[in-house]
């Protein structure tokens, strides 16, 4: 049965959407995280999809249902060698018999990162690899040289974040508000979510605002200030809001603009860079500790995004900087992906990347 749009009451022409996710995701109490005066709830977006979910599938539901991504052409996107966005996109495209091309940059080759790389290549995705983020234009150049225009993929921005994709997280905000109405959890005072390209947090903030739920959204950045800051966040909020307006947002809401809509509902946001450590995707001690604690509480986090986000929440709880009901949004798909690794996947690792991985002493995972 087709899932109902939480957005329907707000939009005259809701865009098409695929039903890729099992929603709503559960909200669970996490007493193992509580601090005096604060009760923690976890939004289990790790359970969005049997194939592979986390937050990514919420965006893909909208992206893959609409132009320019809704035909048979390959899609080309960008991320680290262990990018969850690329893995999610590759698996969902593979299920549609379609192909992913990707420009990738090196990340610290943790076990988790290498598993993701193995899954990515096992889907048949084709990679163009460079050692660092600033070198990505070189990957683009190599890609354009290698592929004739008619073979090249349709470009999808990093993290799958477009205005339209954010609607997946606007719906997620409305979904949480419905769960509050249904008594699943009390109205939260604060919500902790990790930020990369900011599609998730911006969509959530707008969804909470549409629902009239005044929440303090704390965006725990996985990226250095150069890559994630107020400018990016405001721009992404604007893009998400513009997508809502294009879809026929009610005129009295459209007239408010993104900042006005948030202000009217009492939704605020702030960015926390304290957990980035030495850089994007470099594990930190606090992040690793948070991942281990979460594992004992039944959550499967990772050290690039969700571990650092939980580390920030734990630090704020310990300092008494957050009180009342608080939500930790778990954006990491918990699926065990090793079943997707095919024998011989290593042969598909681009030569230069393979040399760098060997130099770094990386142990490539085998098919199970
Ligand atoms: C597990 C996880 N959570 C959150 C994010 C960041 O989401 P966004 O790019 O929408 O800020 C990512 C990005 O890849 C991710 O992999």
State the pLDDT at residue 8: 92
Closest CA relative to residue 210, chosen from 271, 165, 270, 169: 169
Considering the domain architecture, whether residues 292 and 176 belong to the same structural domain is answered as: yes
- Work out the end-to-end distance of the chain between its first and last CA atoms, rounded to an integer number of angstroms: 35
Q: Residue 145 C-alpha to ligand 1 middle, in angstroms?
A: 30
In a domain, 319, yes or no: yes
Does ligand 1 lie within 6 Å of residue 122's CB atom? no
- Which ligand 1 atom lies nearest to the CA of residue 59? 10
State the pLDDT at residue 2: 73
State the pLDDT at residue 3: 77
Distance CA 127, CA 350 (A): 7
State the pLDDT at residue 1: 63
Considering the domain architecture, whether residues 42 and 178 belong to the same structural domain is answered as: yes
Q: Residue 150 C-alpha to ligand 1 middle, in angstroms?
A: 31
In a domain, 2, yes or no: no
Does ligand 1 lie within 6 Å of residue 159's CB atom? yes
Considering the domain architecture, whether residues 149 and 178 belong to the same structural domain is answered as: no
Output the six-digit token pair for 125. Answer: 């995705």
Number of Cβ atoms within 10 Å of the Cβ of 361:
7
State the pLDDT at residue 367: 82
Is residue 304 packed enough to be buried (19+ CB in 10 Å), middle (13-18) or exposed (0-12)? buried
In a domain, 91, yes or no: yes
State the pLDDT at residue 150: 87
CATH of the domain at 105: 3.40.50.1100
Helix, strand, coil fractions of the chain, as percent rounded to 5: 45, 15, 40
Q: Residue 136 C-alpha to ligand 1 middle, in angstroms?
A: 19
Considering the domain architecture, whether residues 247 and 216 belong to the same structural domain is answered as: yes
User: Domain count of the chain?
Assistant: 2
Output the six-digit token pair for 228. Answer: 């994630």
Number of Cβ atoms within 10 Å of the Cβ of 131:
12
The whole-number mean pLDDT for each consecutive block of 10 residues of the chain, a chain of 368 residues, reads 84 96 97 97 97 96 98 97 98 97 97 97 97 95 91 96 98 98 98 98 98 98 97 98 98 98 98 98 98 97 98 98 97 94 96 96 87
Output the six-digit token pair for 349. Answer: 């690792």
* Domain assignment of residue 140, given as a range: 70-155+352-359
In a domain, 364, yes or no: no
Considering the domain architecture, whether residues 221 and 302 belong to the same structural domain is answered as: yes
Considering the domain architecture, whether residues 325 and 180 belong to the same structural domain is answered as: yes
Does ligand 1 lie within 6 Å of residue 112's CB atom? no
Considering the domain architecture, whether residues 177 and 297 belong to the same structural domain is answered as: yes
In a domain, 60, yes or no: no
In a domain, 315, yes or no: yes
Does ligand 1 lie within 6 Å of residue 194's CB atom? yes
In a domain, 367, yes or no: no
Considering the domain architecture, whether residues 118 and 83 belong to the same structural domain is answered as: yes
State the pLDDT at residue 149: 87
Considering the domain architecture, whether residues 144 and 167 belong to the same structural domain is answered as: no
Distance CA 297, CA 277 (A): 24
- Which ligand 1 atom lies nearest to the CA of residue 193? 4
In a domain, 122, yes or no: yes
Considering the domain architecture, whether residues 191 and 291 belong to the same structural domain is answered as: yes
Distance CA 24, CA 304 (A): 25
Considering the domain architecture, whether residues 193 and 250 belong to the same structural domain is answered as: yes
Tell whether the torsion through CA atoms of 34, 209, 271 and 237 is positive or negative: positive
Distance CA 366, CA 174 (A): 41
Distance CA 88, CA 105 (A): 17
Look at ligand 1, atom 16, and give the residue with the nearest C-alpha.
Answer: 84
Considering the domain architecture, whether residues 148 and 171 belong to the same structural domain is answered as: no
Of 48, 89, 105, 197, the one to substitute when testing ligand 1's pocket (max ligand atoms within 8 A of C-beta) is: 197
Nearest 5 degrees, angle CA 112-CA 89-CA 1? 115
Please count the residues of the chain: 368
């Amino acid at each position: 049965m087709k899932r109902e749009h939480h957005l329907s009451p707000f939009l005259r022409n809701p865009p098409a959407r695929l039903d890729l996710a099992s929603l709503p995701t559960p909200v669970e109490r996490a007493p193992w995280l509580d601090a005096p005066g604060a009760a923690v709830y976890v939004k289990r977006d790790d359970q969005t999809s049997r194939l592979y979910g986390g937050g990514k599938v919420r965006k893909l539901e909208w992206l893959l249902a609409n132009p320019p991504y809704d035909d048979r052409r390959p899609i080309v996107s960008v991320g680290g060698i262990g990018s969850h966005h690329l893995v999610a996109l590759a698996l969902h495209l593979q299920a549609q018999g379609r192909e992913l091309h990707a420009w990738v940059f090196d990340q610290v080759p943790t076990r988790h990162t290498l598993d993701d790389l193995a899954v990515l290549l096992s889907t048949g995705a084709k990679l163009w690899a460079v050692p660092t983020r600033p070198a990505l234009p070189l990957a683009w150049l190599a890609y354009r040289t290698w592929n004739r225009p008619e073979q090249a993929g349709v470009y999808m921005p990093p993290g799958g974040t477009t205005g339209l994709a954010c609607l997946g997280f606007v719906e997620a905000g409305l979904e949480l508000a419905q769960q509050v109405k249904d008594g699943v959890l009390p109205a939260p005072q604060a919500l902790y979510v990790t930020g990369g390209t900011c599609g998730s947090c911006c969509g959530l903030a707008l969804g909470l605002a549409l629902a009239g739920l005044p929440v303090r959204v704390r965006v725990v950045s996985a990226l250095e200030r150069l890559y994630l800051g107020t400018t990016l966040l405001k721009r992404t909020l604007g893009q998400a809001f513009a997508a809502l307006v294009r879809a026929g947002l009610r005129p009295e809401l459209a007239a408010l603009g993104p900042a006005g809509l948030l202000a009217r509902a009492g939704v605020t946001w702030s960015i926390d860079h304290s957990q980035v450590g030495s850089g994007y995707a470099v594990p930190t001690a606090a992040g690793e500790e948070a991942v281990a604690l979460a594992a004992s509480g039944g959550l499967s986090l990772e050290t690039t995004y969700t571990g650092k986000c939980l580390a920030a929440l734990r630090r704020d709880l310990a300092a008494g900087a957050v009180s009342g009901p608080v939500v930790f949004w778990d954006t990491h798909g918990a699926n065990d992906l090793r079943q997707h690794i095919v024998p011989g996947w290593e042969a598909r690792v681009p030569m230069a990347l393979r040399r760098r991985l060997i130099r770094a002493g990386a142990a490539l995972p085998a098919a199970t």
